[in-house]
Amino acid sequence: MPKPADATILAWARLVRAHAAAMGHVQAALKAAGLPPLEWYDVLLELEREGPLRPRDLQARLLLAQYNLSRLLDRMAEAGLVTRGPCEEDGRGQVVAISEEGRALRRRAWPVYSRAIQDAVGAKLSEAQAAHLAELLGRLTR
């Protein structure tokens, strides 16, 4: 069935638009607070939750391109937010861990970030609507 229904096309268009609007708001809020971009936060959160990880695992979890992540980790390591160590069971690989500064930055960023999410999403929907939206969006990655 190659022809998408009108509702499908509308959903796509609004997905793009809603994402652009919400993401723009969030990134602007982070920048206004002197914080690094969202992907830095994502990396820090993932490392904090899951413990030290190898780049390829981060890559898979965060849907980042390999070369992109490689250089992102360069910048974050240079900023002292993560550390790279050798990988025991694979000589090619490495293990990336969050540093204490990394944890501190993530904690500092969360109020700004959560506030922006509230403005961009929470304020526009009832809680039930948000839950329903999450449910429908979840189907798109399954």
The residues that bridge with 121 in the sheet, in sequence order, are none
If one asks whether residue 60 binds a second copy (CB under 8 A), the answer comes out as no
If one asks whether residue 52 binds DNA (CB under 7 A), the answer comes out as no
First to last CA, the chain: 19
Among residues 41, 69, 42, 74, the alpha carbon closest in space to that of 56 is found at 69
Look up residue 4 and give its DSSP letter. Answer: -
CA–CA separation, 34 and 19 (whole Å): 22
Look up residue 88 and give its DSSP letter. Answer: T
Applying CB under 7 A, the span of 10-18, 51-59, 107-115, 118-126 interacting with DNA comes to 51-59
Site for a second copy in 16-45 (CB under 8 A): 16-24
Tell me which residues touch a second copy (CB under 8 A): 1-5, 7-24, 63, 111, 114-115, 117-118, 120-122, 124-125, 127-134, 136-142
Tell me which residues touch DNA (CB under 7 A): 31, 39, 54-56, 59, 65-68, 70-75, 84, 87, 90-94
